[in-house]
Amino acid sequence: MMAVTDNNRFRAALVQMRTGRHVEANLATATELIRQAAADGASYVQTPEVTTIMELDRDRLFAECRSEDEDPAIAHFRTLARELAIWLHIGSVAVKVPDGMLANRSLVISPQGQIVARYDKIHMFDVDLPGGESYKESRNYRPGRQAVLAPLPWGPLGLTICYDLRFPNLHRALAKSGAKFIAVPAAFTRVTGEAHWHVLVQARAIETQCFMFAAAQGGRHEHGRETFGHSLIVSPWGEILAEGGTEPGVVAADIDLERLAEARARVPSLTHDRYFDFGIAETPPGAG
């Protein structure tokens, strides 16, 4: 099926993966699923966070990573986008940056194979979870400092990654700056995903009145940890338009921008911000 689009309608697809420790195998899986999405008519295809490698061993991770200009996987994805004539959004890849760290970087590639937007994940997932799981993303990754809008033919796409989902101010700022869609490619853990994934993605959609595109990692990975899966496409009204399970695959939905216009007309909350001071109330005499 050829992709059919106009200025108000297009097909969006999310590639759900179970990325392992070997870049070549992950690249082959991603390529197969991207081709499947394009064959189904998708004009915009998104992969999840850490598309090319999931590795806990720091030395091995750094040995496998390259700078953006030298990364053969990025070059491959640029060629693939051009071949398929799609907007290809690589949810994130780990790339080396000059300070000796890595950046968790999202890349939006045009149908001409050009990288039109880059976003480095701002919020670092440094947490200790119940059950003994511990994540210290800042040990390997340098946090980004800039919010980014990517220019799609149907309107601006706000870029976020995974843990950014928990920070509504970032999403609100993207929407106030013109975003019609917000991407949150992710690798939520099974524990946090079961508790919060659906409600957070839907809440961000409702708060920003944007479509949310959230490609996810899912299942038990080679390194032993589990991710939640359940890739989601959510409307500006908070409706789930498409959802994956825990297995690798593709989920897709037809996007109609009239839904966005309707949501913003019904509850125009993006125009209702009021600025306020903050004060601490005095304790009444005799209280306490």
Lookup result for tokens 């440094």: 126
Report residue 220: phi and psi, to 5°.
-90, 125
Torsion sign, CA atoms 242, 90, 35, 43: positive
Which entry of 55, 65, 162, 180 is annotated as an active-site residue? Answer: 162
Out of 49, 55, 210, 243, pick the active-site residue: 49
What does the alpha-carbon distance between residue 234 and residue 120 come to, in Å, rounded to a whole number?
23
DSSP 8-class letter at 169: H
Q: Cα separation of 160 and 145, whole Å?
A: 12
Residue 14, both tokens: 């999310």
CB 158 within 8 A of CB 182: yes
Say if residue 173 is exposed, middle or buried (CB neighbours under 10 Å; 0-12, 13-18, 19+): middle
- Give the active site residue among 55, 65, 121, 210: 121
Catalytic residue flag (residue 210): no
Pairing relation of β-strands 87-96 and 44-46?
parallel
Is 222 catalytic? The answer is no
96 is catalytic: no
E-state strands within the chain: 9-16, 44-46, 87-96, 102-109, 115-120, 126-128, 134-136, 148-152, 155-159, 181-183, 211-214, 218-220, 226-228, 232-234, 240-243, 249-256
Tokens at 6, concatenated: 């106009």
Token duo for residue 105: 């970087």
Residues taking part in catalysis: 49, 121, 162
